Chains A and B, each alone.
Chain A
Amino acid sequence: MKKLPAFKYLKYLIWLGPMLMIAGVSAGVVSGGWTAVPIALILVGLALIGVGLIVMGRVDMGGQPGAWNQRSLETGANALVTTLAVLAILGLINFLGAKYVWRVDLTENQQFTLSPQTQNVVRNLQEPVKVWVFDKQQNPQDRALLENYRRAGNKFSFEYVDPQAELGLAKQFEAKNFGDVVLELQPNNKRKQFVQTVSDRDRLSEAKLTNGLEQILSDRRANVYFLQGHGERPLEAGQPGAMSQAVKLLGEKNLVAKPLTLAASKEFPQDAAAVVIAGPQKPLLDGEVQALKNYLQRGGHLLLMVDPTNTDPKLDTLLKDWGITLDKRVAIDGSGGGKLINLGPADAIVTRYGDHPITKELQGNLSFFSLARPVQSTSVKDVKETPLLFTSDNSWAESNLQTQPLEFNPPADLQGPLVLGIALEKQTAPKSRLVVIGNSTFATDGLFDQVVNGDVFLNSVRWLEQPEQSTLSIRPKDTKNRRINLTAQQANLSSLLALILLPLLGFGTAAYVWWRRR
C-alpha cells in the first residue's frame, strides 16, 4: 500500500479532541441544557482522542507509518468489531444489573433502607405515581431516597423541575415555593397531592412521602361531623371565631366536614368517621350526652375542644368513663416568651409534646392556646392515655383572673407544666378514641394557620378518623448520637503516625533507594 504523506499529520488530530470536548461542555453549561449539539461535541472529541492516540501509537512505534498493509487493516477491523461487541455486552450486563439490584445496608440504623410499610405501599401501586420536585438543586440525599422508592416498585417515578423555567408545570401543580414536592396519580393527572417543601433544614421525609402516597391512592372520603347547637364554632367563613380554614384543609385530605344537630335528629349518623365538639358555650342536653356515649361505646372517635366557660358544658358524665376532668382554671404563661410574637400571659405556649402519632412531627415547634384550661386525668382500666401538649415550666393554672397582676398563688393555683391535651384509646374492642383539648380558639380562622396550631388540630382529626395507623408510625431515621472520645495518648499516637512516621518512611526509603542506585 502506498504511503500516505498526510498520515503523519494525523496524529495532531488528538489536540482537536480536548478542544471539542471543552467546546461541548461550555456549550452545554452556557445554554443550560444538554441537547444533541453539546453531547455530540463531547462524544466526537472523545472519539478523536481515541483515534489520535491509536494513530500516534503507531507512528511512535516504528517511525514508519506505512505499516498499514492489508493484514493490519484486517486485524484492525477485527479488533474494532470485537471491541464494539464487548462494549455492547458490558452495556447490556450493566443495564440488567441496574434493573435487578441486590443491596445490603451496612449502616446500623438501616439509614438507606425503606421501612417495610413504605416498601409495601410502593410495591402494590396499581397505577403509576409520579413525584414532582420543583427545585433547581437536586439534593443527593433526597435523590437517593427517591431512587430507593423507584427501586421498590416499577410504578413509581420522579422528576426534578426548575419552577422558573417550567412555569406552566409549576402552575398546573400549584407549586409556589422552591422545593415543593407534589405527587401526581397518573395517567392524565388524575389526582394531585402536596407532600412537603424541602429545604436545607427540612429534607424529604419518608414518612411524609409514604403518607402522601397512601392518601393519593385512597378513594375514601370520610365524614367528620361537627356538633352544633350549643354555641360551638361555626363552620362557615365570615362569622367570628369560625373554623373555615380548618374545614378547607380537612377537605384537601379527603375529609368532609358536616354539621351535626343531635337534638333535631333522632338517629346518630352512621357514616361518621369522627365527631368534633369545638367550643360549646351552653350545656349539652342529657340525651345528647347519652347519644355521644353510645357512639363512643360502639367504637366512635371524638375530638373534644372545650374552652373555660362560665357555664358547665355538662360533659362530665361522658368524660368520667375515660378518667378525664376538665380543670376550671385558666392556663397562664409566666415565662414572657410569647411577648416576641405579641402573645399575652393568657396565651399558653406549647413547645413540648407527648410521644404520640399526633404530635410526633411537632416536637420543638411552637403552638399557642389562648385562654386554655388544663386537662387532668386519672388512669382507667383498658384505656391508654397519652398527654399531648405541655406548657412551659413557668406556667400555672390561675383560679382568679380578676385580680391583677396575675400571680401564682398556691394552693388555689396549680403549678405548671400543665397538660392542655390528652389522647385516649380503648385497649379493648371496639377501639374507640378520644382526644380532649382544653381550648378551641387555636383552630379558629386567623389562628389556625399560625405556627403549628393547625397541625395539632389536623393530626388529631386524622389520628381519630384513621383506625389503621400503618404509615403514620414510620419513625424518622434518627442519626445515632456518637462521639469520638480519644485519650491524649491515642490522639498523639495517631497524629504521630499520620503526620510524621508514615511520610518519613516513604521519603526515607525513596532517598535510600536513590542513594544506593547511584
Chain B
Amino acid sequence: MTNLFTSLRTVAANIIAIYRRELQSYFVSPLAYLVAGIFWLLAGFFFVAILLGPEGLIQQAAVNEQQAQQLGIPMPPVDVAYRFLQLYLGVLSSLALFILPILSMGLYAEERKRRTLELLATSPVTNWAVAVGKLLAVVTFFVTLILPLMVYQAIALSASNPPMSPAVMLSGHLGLILLAAAILSLGMFISSLTESTILAAIFTFALVLFLWVIDLIAKSAGGWLGDALAHLSLLKHYNNLVQGVIDSSSLLVFASFIFLGIFLTAQSIDALRFQRS
C-alpha cells in the first residue's frame, strides 16, 4: 500500500516536473507569444465584426426592428446574446483548427531534432508521465489564450437585456477547451512520430480536418457505419456544448480522443526506447 502510494507520488511529481519545464519553455519562447498575438488579433477582429460592426448582430437586430415597425408587423423574437455566442464560438473553433497544430507540432518533434528525446526516453520517468505533463502544459497554454477572450465576451454579455445566465457561455468554452485538448493530444502523437515539425503540423491539420468533416461523409454513408462515423465527428460534439447541451456521450468522445493521443504517444516513445537500447 505504501509502495503504491509512493510510486503514485513519484509519478505525480514527475508529471509536475515535466509540466513546469514545458510551461516555462512557452514563456521564454518568442514563437509562443507570436502565436498568441496572432490568435488574439484574429479573435478580436471577429469579435468586433460579429457583434459591434456595421454588419454586426446588434446593428442587424436594430435595423430589422425598425423595418418591422415601419411595416407594422410584429418582429420575430431574436436572442442576440445566444446568436452571438453560437457564431463567435464557431469562429473560435475554426481559428483553433489552425492554431492547434502549430502548438502541438513541436511537442516531441523538437526534442527529436535536438536529440533530447533519448534523454527523456531512457530516463526513469515513464513515457506516460512525460506525455501527460506535456499535454497538460500545452492545454494550459491554450487556456491562457482563451481566458482573455472571455473577459470581453463577458463585458458584452453582461449588457444583454433581459440578462443571460453565464451557463451557456461557460459550457461553450468548456467545449472549446475539450476540443483543443483532444486535437492537441492527437497532434502530440503525430509529433512523436517525426523529426520534422512542419510535417507534424501538416499531418495534424489533415487529421483534424478529416475528423471535422467526417460528419458529412457519415451522413451520406447512412446505416450503422454512418452513425458510428458521425459519432467521431469533433464538430458535432463541440456544437452540443456550444448550444448549451452537456451530453455525456460527447464528453466521453472527447475524453477518448485525449486518452488515445496520450496512449499512442507513450506507445510510440516506448517503441523508440526499445529500438535504441
A→B interface (CB under 8 Å): 18, 21, 25, 28, 32-34, 39, 46, 49, 53-54, 56-58, 60-62, 67, 71-72, 75-76, 79, 82-83, 86-87, 90, 93-94, 97-98, 100-108, 111-112, 138, 140, 159-160, 478-487, 490-491, 493-495, 497-500, 502-511, 513-514, 517
**Shortest Cβ distance from residue B59 to the other chain A in the assembled complex, whole angstroms:** 11
Contact of B260 among A28, A86, A159, A481 (CB under 8 A): A86
- With contact pairs A56-B194, A83-B264, A513-B29 given, residues A481 and B79 touching in the complex (Cβ less than 8 Å): yes
Q: Which residues of B contact A67 (CB under 8 A)?
A: 275
* Distance, CA A508 to CA B31, complexed state (A): 12
Rounded to whole angstroms, the CA-CA distance of A96 and B191 in the bound complex is 31
Instruction: Specify which chain A residues have a CB less than 8 angstroms from the CB of B225 in the assembled complex.
Output: 39
Number of B residues, CB within 8 Å of A: 88
Report chain A residues within 8 Å CB of B270.
75, 79
* Minimum C-beta distance from A416 to chain B (A): 17
Residues of B within 8 A of A514 (CB): 30
- CB pair B33 A33 closer than 8 Å: no
Cβ-based interface call for B157 (8 A): yes
Q: Are A103 and B267 in contact (CB under 8 A)?
A: no
Q: Tell me the complex Cα distance, A33–B41, Å.
A: 41
Q: Separation in Å of the B175 CB from the closest CB of chain A?
A: 11
Report the separation of the CA atoms of residues A502 and B81 in the bound assembly, to the nearest whole angstrom: 23
Q: With the chains together, A209 CA to B43 CA distance in Å?
A: 41
**10 more CB-based (< 8 A) A-B contacts, given A486-B156, A506-B34:** A56-B194, A57-B194, A57-B268, A61-B275, A112-B245, A484-B84, A487-B159, A500-B44, A506-B39, A510-B32
Q: How far is B81's CA from A87's CA once the two chains are assembled, in angstroms? A: 40
| Contacting pair A39 B80 (CB below 8 A) | no
Q: Are A97 and B61 within 8 A (Cβ)? A: no
- Closest Cβ of chain B to A434, distance in Å, is 31
Given contacts A480-B82, A487-B159, A502-B40, contact A90 B256 (CB under 8 A): yes
Contact B244 A106 (CB under 8 A): yes
Encode contact with A along B51-80: 1 for CB under 8 Å, 0 otherwise.
110000110010000000000000011111
Task: Determine if A510 and B33 form an interchain contact, defined as CB atoms under 8 angstroms apart.
Answer: yes
From 71 to 118 in chain B, residues with beta carbon under 8 angstroms from any chain A beta carbon are: 76-82, 84, 112
Structural contact, B244 and A506, CB atoms closer than 8 A: no
Counting from the closest, the 6 A-B pairs by CB-CB distance are A506-B37, A498-B44, A510-B33, A481-B77, A503-B41, A514-B30
* Bound-complex Cα distance A173 to B164 (A): 45
Query: Which residues from chain A contact B80 at a C-beta distance below 8 Å?
Result: 482-484
Is there contact, CB below 8 Å, between A138 and B164?
A: no
Q: A111 CA to B79 CA in the complex, in Å? A: 12
Choose the segment among B4-12, B130-138, B147-155, B176-184 that binds chain A (4+ C-beta atoms closer than 8 Å).
Answer: B147-155
Q: A57-B193, A486-B159, A506-B37 are in contact. Are A107 and B164 (CB under 8 A)?
A: no
Point out which of B156, B164, B168 has the most chain A C-beta atoms below 10 A from its C-beta: B156
Q: How far is the CA of A479 from the CA of B219 in the complex (A)?
A: 28
Task: Provide the B167-197 mask, 1 if CB < 8 A to any CB of A, else 0.
Answer: 1100100000000000000000010111100
Contacts of A108 in B (CB 8 A): 164-165
B25 vs chain A, min Cβ distance (A)? 12
B13 touches A (CB below 8 Å)? no
The answer on a CB contact under 8 Å between A486 and B58 is yes
Docked pose: A510 CA to B27 CA in angstroms: 10
CB proximity of B253 to chain A, nearest CB, Å = 6
Interface residue ranges of B229-273 to A (CB < 8 Å): 231, 239, 243-249, 252-253, 256, 259-260, 263-264, 267-268, 270-272
- Number of A-B residue pairs at CB separation under 8 A: 234
Complex contacts, B125 vs chain A, CB 8 Å: none
Q: Please, how many angstroms separate the alpha-carbon atoms of A32 and B31 in the complex? A: 44
In the complex the two chains form, is B168's CB within 8 Å of A106's CB?
yes
Give chain B residues whose Cβ lies under 8 Å from the Cβ of A498: 43-45, 47-48, 149, 152
- Residues of the A chain whose Cβ atoms lie less than 8 Å from the Cβ of B259: 90
Contacts known (A67-B275, A491-B52, A502-B44); A483 close to B155, Cβ less than 8 A: no
> Closest A-chain residue to B35, C-beta based?
A506
Contact B220 A33 (CB under 8 A): yes
Which residues of A have CB within 8 Å of B256?
90, 93-94
Compute how far the CA of A403 lies from the CA of B239 in the bound complex, rounded to whole angstroms: 65
Whether the Cβ atoms of B36 and A506 lie closer than 8 Å is yes
Contact B167 A60 (CB under 8 A): no
A510 with B271: CB separation less than 8 A:
no
- A140, A482, A507: the one contacting B34 at CB < 8 Å is A507
How far apart sit A105 and B112, CA to CA, in the bound complex (Å)?
Answer: 45
Task: Select B47's contact among A18, A21, A494, A508, beta carbons within 8 Å.
Answer: A494
Give the complex CA separation of A160 and B222 in angstroms: 9
Between A and B, 30 residue pairs with Cβ closer than 8 Å are: A32-B220, A34-B217, A49-B203, A57-B194, A61-B272, A72-B271, A83-B263, A101-B248, A106-B168, A140-B239, A159-B222, A160-B219, A479-B76, A479-B77, A482-B79, A484-B160, A485-B159, A487-B159, A490-B155, A490-B158, A497-B148, A498-B48, A502-B40, A502-B148, A503-B40, A504-B37, A506-B33, A507-B33, A510-B33, A513-B33
Kindly state whether residue B119 has any CB partner on chain A within 8 Å.
Answer: no
Q: Is the C-beta of B124 less than 8 angstroms from some C-beta in chain A?
A: no
User: CA of A138 to CA of B244 in the docked complex: distance in angstroms?
Assistant: 21
Given contacts A106-B246, A494-B155, A513-B33, contact A483 B160 (CB under 8 A): yes
Distance (Å) between the CB of B133 and the closest chain A CB?
20
Cα A483 to Cα B245 in complex, Å, equals: 22
Q: Which residue of B lies closest to A109 (CB)?
A: B79
Whether A510 and B30, one on each chain, are in contact in the complex, defined by CB atoms closer than 8 angstroms, is: yes
Contacts of A54 in B (CB 8 A): 193, 268, 271
Q: Contacts of A86 on B, CB cut-off 8 Å?
A: 260, 263
**Docked complex Cα distance between A58 and B171 (Å):** 42
B38 close to chain A: CB less than 8 A: yes
Whether the Cβ atoms of A103 and B248 lie closer than 8 Å is yes
For residue B149, which residues in chain A have a CB less than 8 angstroms away from its CB? 498, 502
Known A481-B77, A507-B33: A103·B44 in contact at CB below 8 Å: no
Check if B206 is an interface residue, CB within 8 A of chain A: yes
The distance in angstroms between the C-alpha atoms of A360 and B222, with both chains bound, is 37
Judge whether B252 and A93 touch: CB under 8 Å. yes
Complex CA distance for A500 and B48, rounded to whole angstroms: 11
Name B77's closest neighbour in chain A (CB-CB).
Answer: A481
Check B244 against A105 for contact (C-beta < 8 Å): yes
Closest A residue, CB atoms, query B195: A60
Q: In the complex, A79 Cα to B30 Cα: how many Å?
A: 38
Q: Are B203 and A53 in contact (CB under 8 A)?
A: yes
Contact A103 B194 (CB under 8 A): no
B49 → chain A, closest Cβ, in Å?
A: 10
Compute how far the CA of A507 lies from the CA of B271 in the bound complex, rounded to whole angstroms. Answer: 40
**Contacting pair B82 A482 (CB below 8 A):** yes
Contacting pair A482 B48 (CB below 8 A): no
CB-based contact B33/A72 at 8 Å: no
